[in-house]
Structure 1
Amino acid sequence: MTAHPATHPTRSIRSPGWVPFALFTLVLVPALSGSMRLVELAGGPHLLSANPRITASPAPVVVHIVCAVSYAVLGAFQFSAALRRRRPGWHRVAGRVLVLLGLAVAFSALWMTQFYPRQTGTGELAYLFRLAFGSGMGASIILGFTAIRGGDVPQHRAWMTRAYALALGAGTQVFTLGIGKAVFGTSELTTDLSLGAGWAFNLAIAEYIIRRRTSSDRTSMATARVGS
């Protein structure tokens, strides 16, 4: 029985596709907010509300913002299958850079969570969420890097997808905080749960994508066996 190779539209080969640009949209608001904070710390005009925690110790915030925006933008292109096929070397080099950026994002977030004064309007639950999801992001990057070093591509993709989903938590939290406060009012518990919902929602989407990809890979392998 002869297997006929699947044909791909020309556009999918020549362009990175819509996924990176959708991810850019999600990260746009926190990226703009972070950029304004950097301008402020560099001596520019105060475009955001004052934050004494950041003013007292700006270095971790600068590291976090610069690395988080870079990680989000560069990482978005790693999800382009067309780009991975066309430029595998670029994918590998960018991946190594992203490991360093991602770990800097996770560890700076954990440092701020542990050593900065508690953010006004948040409680113990938000503190625990930040510790859990920050640690989860760092662990996912390490596990993803270990997997690819061992040649396990599916596990590498799965762990890196989880790490990226957690990194984009701030983008989703723009929506969960807005919805949470609109529905339940402004309170410490609402804020904490809304923050946690942002990370949890992203992680749920990541798990759906991982399972769908795994199912698709299994179907492709079964089809290849039948056609061989």
Structure 2
Amino acid sequence: MTHTKAARLIPAGLLVLSAVPVLAGAARVAELTGGVAIIPDGARVLAAPVPVMLHIAGVTVYSVLGAFQFAPGFRRRRPAWHRAAGRLLVPCGLLAALTGLWMTLFSDLPAGDTGLLTVFRLAAGSAMAGSLALGLAAILRRDVARHRAWMIRAYALGMGAGTQAVLFAVWYAATGGDAHTVARALLHGLAWGINLAVAEWAIRRRSGRVAGQPIGGVDQPSGGAKSSAADS
């Protein structure tokens, strides 16, 4: 597979993965606006709909728009779009992370969502918000490499729901039943761990490639030091 073809497949794959939180969010919005209940625990959500709606809005924009930041050709051709998208992605990502933390701490969660799963959710949400803040601080210092790295980590954490859906499908196919409380928590944690591992591999792979180029090489960050968006 050529580098160009691989570069095209990455954002496409991320869009497929983002379909899980986007479709789940759409179903929840339909329920909250008077539609038929599709997702379990609807009563819990109806008790505090505002953070849920904000979370869905943040996740939807962040996951879909963020996928295009991983298309290097698109970034090079449209650097202004890349910067404008980044200015939207940071607040949307923070909205998704902070509302997720709020719901974990203050919502009336089902019994199976407490304990270890709560710890994983708090860790992932805090790490996502922290990565976004560090990425923003880096680009304000014109440190594009660190900005890119932190934004990749933030996006990896934000896409946890997609990977979780894949792992739960594999679990169901292998066992024929739903995961029990501990297994469910571990599958959630494993999904975030897998995403972060892939993110770190991508960061180090690009860092090594750029480090191996002579000064003035062609693989420089699009938009230069003025980039203010999530760059991959």
TM-score (norm 2): 0.85
Give distance in 2, aligned partners of 1:133 and 1:39: 27
**Paired AA for residue 68 in structure 2:** F
Number of corresponding residues = 213
**Shift of residue 123 of structure 1?**
3.2
Q: State the Cα distance separating 1:67 from its structure 2 match.
A: 1.0
Alignment of 1:192-211 (within 5 A): 192-211=185-204
SS in 2 for 1:44: coil
Is 2:75 aligned against 1:84? yes
CA distance in 2, matches of 1:123, 1:48: 19
The CA distance in 1 between the partners of 2:47 and 2:216, in whole Å, is 60
Which of residues 92, 106, 119 in structure 1 aligns to 2:110? 119
**1:102 aligned residue:** 93
Match for 2:166: what amino acid?
F
Cα distance change of structure 1 residues 120 and 31 upon mapping to structure 2, 3 Å threshold: farther
Distance 1:17 1:186 in 2: 35
For the 8 Å contact 2:138–2:147, the answer to whether it is kept is yes
1:30 — aligned with what? Answer: 21
Question: Which residue matches 2:84?
Answer: 93
1:180, 1:191 within 8 Å by CA — same for their partners in 2? no
The question of whether the paired residues in 1 share the 8 Å contact of 2:21 and 2:59 is answered with: no
1:122·1:189 contact (CA, 8 Å) conserved in 2?
no
Structure 2 residue aligned with 1:3: none
Cα distance in structure 2, aligned partners of 1:24 and 1:120: 32
Unaligned runs of 5+ in 2: 218-232
AA partner of residue 180 (structure 2)? S
* Equivalent residue letter for 1:124: G
Question: Which of 21, 39, 58 in structure 1 is aligned with 2:49?
Answer: 58
Letter paired with 1:115: F
- Aligned 8 A contact 1:41 1:58 in 2: yes
Please state if 1:133 is matched with 2:124: yes
Report the RMSD for the aligned CA atoms in angstroms. Answer: 2.2
- 8 Å CA contact 1:180–1:190 kept in 2: the answer is no
Deviations 1:141-174 (A, max 9, x none): 0100111111111101100000000000000000
Contact 2:18 2:63 in 1 (8 A): yes
* Runs of 5+ unmatched residues, structure 1: 1-8
Correspondent of 2:214 among 217, 221, 224: 221
CA distance in 1, matches of 2:114, 2:144: 39
More displaced, 198-207 or 50-59? 50-59
**Superimposed CA distance per residue, residues 48-71 of structure 1 (whole angstroms, 9 cap, x where no aligned partner):** 334221010011110111110110
Distance 1:190 1:180 in 2: 9
- The sequence identity of aligned pairs, in percent, is 43
Residue 155 (structure 1) aligned with residue 146 (structure 2): yes
> 1:28: Cα distance to partner?
1.1
Runs of 4+ in 1 over 4 A off after TM superposition: none
Give the alignment's TM-score, normalised by structure 1. 0.87
